[in-house]
Structure 1
Amino acid sequence: MTCLVCGSPKSEPHFGGNSCRACAAFFRRCFHSKKLVLGCICKRKPSNYHPCRSCRLAKCLAVGMKQENVNVTCEFVVEVFPEFQKLSSPDRQGLLHNFMLKIWNLEPIMDDVAQRKKFGKMDDEEIRNFMLPMFVGCFQKGAEIGKKDLWRLFGFYWRAYFEKLIEPLINLSLDSMEFMATIWILFFDHAYINISPSSSNLCWNIRKVILQELKNHEQEKACAAFFRRFFNSKKFVIKCTCTSKTVGSHPCRSCRVAKCFAVGMTPTS
């Protein structure tokens, strides 16, 4: 489904409306940051530029996104991890506050990784055209910064952003489950200094559960890859050799294929 705010080809429900992740992150930042939403300045921008902050926020509200829905993050965490409700109110707020700083940086990275073909190899001119529109409308009248100075101040950061963050993440080829596990691990960080020791212990225990689930996911991927290779290769399945193997080693090919069939895996699927 197309994002109703910016026209991006991918969108999903966010804060009561449908939008892409970038517009959802923008909507969240509008109510958590101290930046001013100034009047419309679209007439002073080239026709192919993104809408200004004022118009983009108006579009977010027009598609049904609501400010009160920005605060449902805590409710969602409680639904997924009921233990979160056991924490004191200051600890819950501390975790959410610390996590928001991370997700503001991580969410745009995830969007850019999803558009890897678009951002994979950008030269300085393309990075400049991508970066400069983001600063339009961010300064009060009389305190604007020129394009040349903006590029001098922030150009190095954006080059490093694509070279040091986007490309390495693309090379990892993480799937959606691995990304989600990464986000939850970032959320339940037991090393925060503004939470109590009991909350730190709870975060540590939840992280262990997440890591175990991630391990199970990777094992499932490995078994699926084995099952796929089995039917795409010309190797034949010999008889069971488990009795001749040491205790604790993986099952033989014959037993592993039999287990794949036993759990419902089929060559046609």
Structure 2
Amino acid sequence: MEMVSTSTSPFSCKVCGQKAHGNHFGVISCRACAAFFRRTASSKWSKMKCRGGSCDQETYSCKPCRLQKCREMGMDTTKFQYSRETIPETGQFQLPPPSIESYVGRPEFLLFCDTDAPNTKVLIDVRYLLEEAGRILNHGSRTPSYGDSQLKKLTQGFKYIKLDMDNLKQVEYAAQKEIMELWEYYFLTVTKWLQYFDEFQKLNRHLQMTLLQSIWHVFQKLHKYVGTMFYRKANPYAKPTHVIIKDVFMDVKNVQFDSSWMSDYPPQDVMKYLMVQSCHDFDIIGALQELDPSDLELTYLFAQLCFEYAGKRYQGDILKVTESFQEILANDLHHYYVEEMNRPRYGLRLAKLMKINNAIQKAIWESRPKMELGRVFNVLKIDFSHPEMFEDSGYY
């Protein structure tokens, strides 16, 4: 792959919040924080406490506190990039395994090439997302998990699903930065959400990461419908073209879409290609509005869709795991209907809920031949460091 130019990262430094430069010492950070950690990791500041007693962490005038923040975010001198980030230490060290950077000769966590040549690919390295997900898994849920069923515990994470109507942002232009922020948001959101599911916590790290890589974009599809449903419920005069994605409001009829970074085809053609997985034969938002599901029902809807998709996609051990997940959650939902809602005849309502998930999965399966054809004609010029993470996402 010919690299002809460099693009800066649209993501934020985990230490100071400024624009990030790359993956330094195992954390997405800017050059300044990386350089600061390199200088001070083994200095006297590492053994000192806050110099002022009430350090202003926005300006980081206190070096011990800034160093502590670097370590809290996961910076470690053993995670430096060989031949780029060196730091004097005693003892021996081992070279890190070969990376994409070492092959292409570009020490960036996000590698872009921007050229007029039609066959040039854009390489996106998403390993930093996997590293961040691993850090979240190590720390556990932000709040204690409680409840008399697994479904109720998982519903504690509903804050990662429900739309915050008071903090919607309107977007009229979408390009590289906005698309990549969506990927980051949904992958890490699913990771935080599953922290409230005990059965997921019992899995080994390999199975956890496999599930996360496979379900984040399926979660995103349902989240778009649910968020739009909440918005239309609060705004009865909303137009059919009004859509909510993440915490962003947009009118799909008027939004400007810059696809030049991902495709050499006209934007309108790229948009149609990316929309191939949309459900056109079933009004999902209308069905959600009619059912008006509770938080617990919506949580079950998300979990059932994600786990069933992952099981069908991977089969084998993943299928066994996801089937056991679904059985546990289905039993909890049965208890909720019968014992708490006094609704023993809930079959029709459940069938209507499952119709929503079935429509989403049907759209995914039916889109595969079209996506394959798109790859033949190079509709998208994107390559990923972990392509399995983007399979069936619409971008692969």
Q: TM-score range with shorter-chain normalisation?
A: 0.3 to 0.5
Larger % of strand: which?
2
Larger Rg computed on CA atoms: 1
Normalising by structure 1, report the TM-score.
0.45
Q: Which structure has more RCO (C-alpha within 8 Å, separation ≥ 6)?
A: 2
Normalising by structure 2, report the TM-score.
0.33
